[in-house]
A and B are shown apart, each in its own frame.
Chain A
Amino acid sequence: MSEEKSRRGFLEILLGSSAVMALSAVLYPIFKFITPPKTAEANLSQLKLSFTRAEIELEAQKAKYFKYGKALGIIFINEKNQLKAMDATCTHLDCTVQHRPDLGILWCSCHNGRYGLDGTNISGPPPRPLSTYAVKEVDDVIFVSKGDS
């Protein structure tokens, strides 16, 4: 009888403790999930840049790079003092283009590919123009976006 009792006691303990453990195995990921991650929200396809126009002006080449999804973009100030943004990857091979305010072009140093400041391929090997991003400036914040949005 006492053996029976201790077996039942053991079963109660097993059930209770394993239930608590299983529950914590379920709750732990949930708790971690609702803990805010380092960057608190998703980058949208309308990308908010982490720098201002003034910071771009400080650069020697009057241009800065930004990351847009899997692509690298370049944003620069053109001769009319407007902000323009385009893909920074040359359409020829995979090099990164740079803004050359002295020549008034976007330049790929790998094979001397040249693009106009509107992204059209002017000379050298690039087969296609660079695709452009829409740029919006609200107060001091720059937003870039692509496509239909």
Chain B
Amino acid sequence: MKNKIIISILIQIIIASAVYSSESNCLNCHSDFEDENGASQMITKDIHWQKGLGCEGCHGGDPELDDMDEVREVKGYQGIPDTKDIPAFCASCHADATYMHEHNPSLPTDQLDKYKTSVHGIQLLKEGDTKVANCISCHTVHQINSAELPHSSTHPQNIPGTCGKCHDDADYMKEYGIDTNILSDYTVSVHGYALLEKGDLGAPACNDCHGNHGAAPPGVSSLAAVCGTCHAIEAELFNDSPHKQAFEENDIPMCETCHSNHKILHPKDEWIGSKEPSLCIECHSLDDGTIGLETADAIAATLEKLIHAHSEAETTLSEAKEKGMMTTEEEFLLKEVEQSLIQTRTRLHSFNKDSVEPKAVVGIEKANLVRTNSAALIDEFYFRRIGLGIATLFITLLCIGLYLKIRNSEKEKS
């Protein structure tokens, strides 16, 4: 009886250890001396591990062995690669179209090629500067995950922070002489606000303008193309405008000159015109021989008219709404005015008053309609009060009459 128990325990131990070692002996030892930030602790959250790629898939060695020294003797053991070797290290699989096709066919295999063209890639691979970003700087080492996962370092909302790890660090970036306010500038920009505060994943993170693996600052000539991926009409109008040639000839960056680059704030309507705080006067002056400021003033006046009409319509409408009137129709119409306002502001980029005006005129007409309709509703509100006053007066008179009648008829009797 006792023997049977001992034998069964022994069998269980053998089975258990067999199962254990078949998983990976690496974790066995590494987890002994690594804390929660160690590779053995983090790797289970890594997409490669989850898809069945063990430690040996990258680092080589034999996971069946249980002596660390013996592991290092095995042919193909890589251990920790040198920083400058990391791109090639990852690319051994990720640039292999046949291999990637078997495991994740939807993933591109040109990351290394792109990396070589990036500022980071050139610095690392040609200059041997190991401070610049390589694969793991952005993707992490043992917690690599799909960009779709919210906790991934490459998820759109985490990208500004990921890039900011270096680019926001003034000490670290000192020798490169580039601005380290990028992250804080971006965070307060319309794009940063939309992405980080409002959670609008359609808003651009760093990589949407700079590229990711081929990261480089857009040149003066490609700036309009970069911004134009989303702001298509603005780019198109600008390219047809007289500014296009003038900017190119003088090497002035296109969108950035007025809108800045990382700290893109909500544009102000006062930016156009011939007086402070207009941006036109930074290049133009009254006697510069162009129709620049004249056009700016004309456009500013048109825009101002529309904005005024819109805000009057809005005020009157909200007053009518506050009074409890049904304003569905007017609210609907006001939305169209807002569309006109957006379109008019967009049209600004043609820097041609004849292109701006028609859109504004439509908006002004609609805004005036909203205002008159809302005013009519407010009148209706007062009409109701007056109507009620008259009706209650009549009914109250009848009440008084009835009361007197009752008193009278009772007096007669007594």
Contact = CB atoms under 8 A, between A and B. Distances in A.
Nearest to B333: A67
Interface string A1-35: 00000011001001100110110111000000000
Interface stretch (A53-61, A120-128, A130-138, A139-147): A120-128
B388 to A, nearest CB: 9
A127 B156 CA distance: 14
Contacts of A113: 202
Interface in B387-414: 390-391, 394-395, 397-398, 400-402, 404-405, 408
A111 B191 CA distance: 12
Given A15-B401, A94-B338, A25 B232 contact: no
B401 A111 contact: no
Give chain B's interface residue range (CB within 8 Å of chain A).
Answer: 20 to 34
A52 interface: no
Interface string A83-105: 00000000010111000000000
Nearest to B402: A15
A22 B332 contact: no
Contacts of A72: 332, 335
A22 B202 contact: no
Contacts of B202: 92, 111, 113, 124-127
Contacts, number: 72
B203 to A, nearest CB: 7
A67 B339 contact: no
A14 B231 CA distance: 74
Nearest to A91: B202
A15 B409 CA distance: 14
B74 interface: no
Contacts of B229: 112
Given A14-B400, A15-B398, A111-B202, A95 B230 contact: no
B332 A67 contact: yes
Main SS of chain B's interface residues?
Answer: helix
A70 interface: yes
B398 A18 contact: yes
Contacts of B16: none
B401 A11 contact: yes
B200 A11 contact: no
A26 B390 CA distance: 11
Interface residues of A, number: 28
A21 B397 contact: yes
Contacts of A25: 390-391, 394-395
Interface string B167-211: 000000000000000000000000000000000111100000000
B346 A109 contact: yes
B328 interface: yes
B332 A112 contact: no
Nearest to B388: A25
Given A111-B230, A127-B202, A14 B339 contact: no
A146 to B, nearest CB: 17
Contacts of B332: 67, 70, 72
B233 interface: yes
B395 A22 contact: yes
Contact of A112 (B230, B342, B400): B230
Contact of B230 (A11, A14, A124): A124
Which 6 A-B pairs rank lowest in CB-CB distance, beginning with the nearest? Answer: A125-B202, A18-B397, A25-B391, A21-B394, A15-B401, A112-B232
24 contacts: A14-B401, A15-B398, A15-B401, A15-B402, A15-B405, A18-B397, A18-B398, A19-B401, A21-B397, A21-B398, A22-B397, A22-B398, A25-B391, A25-B394, A26-B391, A67-B332, A70-B331, A72-B332, A95-B342, A112-B228, A112-B232, A124-B202, A125-B203, A126-B202
